Structure 1
Amino acid sequence: MSPRGVAINDVRERLFDAAERVLAREGPAALSSRAITAEADCAKGLLHAHFDGLDAFVAELVLDRFARTARQAAELPARAGHADVAGNLVAIALTLLDSLNPAVVALALTRPAATLRIRQALEAGAPGFTVIQDAVTSYLDEERRLGRLAKETDTASVALALVGTVHHLLMTSWAGAPDPREQTERLVAQLVAPSLGERS
């Protein structure tokens, strides 16, 4: 057990959750190692015992949320033939939108060292938007094989449009911005309606 009774295998997620609460409540300027550990009710040095500084922590937080969404996206092809295509796409898009708190994204963008770590990890194969895009493509390929999408549907382009748009919405989500969920639902309708209408 670590100080204050935090189990070792629970430390990362507990600190990640605490950081998201601090960001949501007080904004990026308030985020510090001490603020995170205080919010998590952990010993002050615990974050540095598990991460190589705050930039490493922020990078790992972003990568963890990407990985979590990638795991959910990997289950998408199994939904082929079930429910409806548009609903399945909206569900994974909303999961992606919820995977990262906009404040976390904003924080990462203001910390070049964290951004560099994230980029290097993604280049080295850490799951991110590309993995999610591939999962969406595989799902659409299966729906096309089942005849629920028109044979001529460019599944890779549909997946790119969806995941790229969600990425954009994540990067531009701030107070006063349009509801990204409504925008996502409208986008999905535009992307899949022609293919659904043309199938035989």
Structure 2
Amino acid sequence: MSPRGVATPDVNELLFAAAERVVVRDGPGALTSRAVTTEAGCSKGLLHTHFAGMDAFVAALCLDRFARSAARARALPPLAGTGTVAGHLATVTDALFGSGGPAVSGLALTRPGAAQRFRAAMEAGAPGFTAIQEAITAYLRAEQSLGRFPAATDPDTAALCLVGTAHHLLMTDWPGAPDPEPALARLIGLLLGDTAA
């Protein structure tokens, strides 16, 4: 329950979404526990009740958003043979850039304590870009077996190109930076060649 007597069904998501809005609007330097809880409209102590400080909160936020993108990527292989390959790949890259993606992606780097927690979680198997790449590879292999992805193109390399480009665009985003979608669409078209389905 919040101090206002209203049930908070998912406190983490309430705080994560508020943090994304703060970072997108005001930049990573503005991210404080007070800014997050004010944005979320909840008690000032709520964040510290659920997280052991801002480093733990930032690491959890970044890990949650990577896990969401990885889940979206893992949903790809069963879609082989349906829709368009370009459309399915765009859905996954869109997930990386959705919400506060560019702003959140480098957030852990601004806080050494959060970066350590983030790395430890990744080393322990938390999903990140590697999980996304593996899911895209599996999807492209499935589409290749159906003749909807070029036989001469290595799915592992294509997935690495797509994820690496998305990572680069995420990490080099700044206010006023070009929209990443056209660059990703061109790369997807290049990977699909003339057999785009």
TM-score (norm 1): 0.91
Name the residue aligned to 1:133. 133
Q: Does 1:18 align with 2:18?
A: yes
Q: CA, structure 1 residues 33+155, in 2 after alignment: closer, same or farther (shift >3 Å)?
A: same
Conserved? CA contact 2:32–2:54, under 8 Å: yes
Greater alpha carbon shift after TM alignment, 45-54 vs 18-27: 18-27
How far does the alpha carbon of each residue in 1:68-123 deviate from its partner, in whole angstroms, 9 at most, with x for none?
11111111111111122222212211222226532223432211111111111111
Cα RMSD, aligned residues only: 1.7
Distance 1:96 1:149 in 2: 22
Q: Does 1:112 align with 2:112?
A: yes
Q: CA, structure 1 residues 130+103, in 2 after alignment: closer, same or farther (shift >3 Å)?
A: same
Q: How many matched pairs? A: 196
Q: Please state which structure has a larger fraction of its residues in helix.
A: 1
How far does the alpha carbon of each residue in 1:26-45 deviate from its partner, in whole angstroms, 9 at most, with x for none?
22222111111111111111
Counterparts of 1:46-61 in structure 2 under 5 Å?
46-61=46-61
Distance 2:147 2:164 in 1: 26
Distance 1:144 1:27 in 2: 42
Q: CA, structure 1 residues 39+157, in 2 after alignment: closer, same or farther (shift >3 Å)?
A: same
Conserved? CA contact 1:68–1:99, under 8 Å: no
Unmatched segments (≥5 aa) in structure 1? none
Q: CA, structure 1 residues 181+6, in 2 after alignment: closer, same or farther (shift >3 Å)?
A: farther
Name the residue aligned to 1:90. 90
Conserved? CA contact 1:65–1:99, under 8 Å: no
Greater alpha carbon shift after TM alignment, 97-106 vs 24-33: 97-106
TM superposition outliers: structure 1 runs of 4+ over 6 Å? none
Q: Does 1:73 align with 2:76?
A: no
Conserved? CA contact 2:24–2:100, under 8 Å: no
**Aligned residues: percent identity?**
59
Distance 2:5 2:183 in 1: 44
Distance 2:149 2:106 in 1: 37
